[in-house]
Structure 1
């Protein structure tokens, strides 16, 4: 039996076109990049050494892409506490440099109720100049309570 058929309240389930409010992250200082490199194992000098970044034409080391991707989960939890991410993918369009910040927004592209409540979201992370840094997609489902 589906949740809708079981009488679960779905009247507040998001509709197509609903926006996901802006959530800001950063600025990402050098200390953040070093800590992320340590815990993730991504110690590529491009992210940590200004001279290496300059050698490839960047004004400063870029923030790790996966560090920025990790910001989508808390942004979505800020929007709705009753969802869980099932799939998240992103395309990196522009680098965000050390000491920069990102703003995450999005919208509901598809919403279904059957066989279980699920949303397909288009997500965007904008850099400090308003440039689109990451274009992402997520599939989220309604967080179901643990059975007792």
Structure 2
């Protein structure tokens, strides 16, 4: 394999990607296109009534942002699975930083990457896992 197509090494870290901040208009647009119009993400009074300083960003919006991180890191790999857990919210008008690290590499099973989205808090907002494989050669 050439250097460009060699699989990444276990322990390799992905370059961080900063996303956001997410304003009210961005949350409203996401709610409209995703169909997730839960008022918690859109109504400041509701969010504050349950203890948030502002409405939380949709978790799936954060999870989907990992695609850009993975593709900017290795465009020669394609995502075959992506899933995650939502640990703590990123709130409206906050930024998030996406990072990741390669945990396993196999020519048969692909590249397994652990991903994190960190808001301004100490704990991660999202912990995710992705499996990637080399893109099929174009004929």
Q: TM above 0.5, one fold? A: yes
Q: CA RMSD in A?
A: 1.5
Aligned to 2:96: 102
Residue 137 in 1 paired to residue 129 in 2? Answer: yes
State the distance in 1 between where 2:122 and 2:20 align.
14
Q: Give the equivalent residue in structure 2 for 1:4.
A: none
- How far apart in 1 are the matches of 2:66 and 2:72? 10
CA distance in 2, matches of 1:42, 1:53: 16
1:73-112 mapped onto 2 (5 Å cutoff): 73-112=67-106
TM-score by length of 1: 0.88
TM-score (norm 2): 0.93
Residue correspondence of structure 1 range 58-73 to structure 2 within 5 A: 58-73=52-67
The CA distance in 2 between the partners of 1:130 and 1:103, in whole Å, is 12
Residue 31 in structure 1 maps to residue 25 in structure 2: yes
Q: Which has the larger radius of gyration?
A: 1
Query: Distance between the aligned counterparts of 1:35 and 1:130, measured in 2?
Result: 28
Alignment partners' CA distance in 1, 2:78 and 2:23: 29
- The aligned length equals 138
Aligned equivalents of 1:137 and 1:129: distance in 2?
A: 21
Gaps of 5+ in 2: none
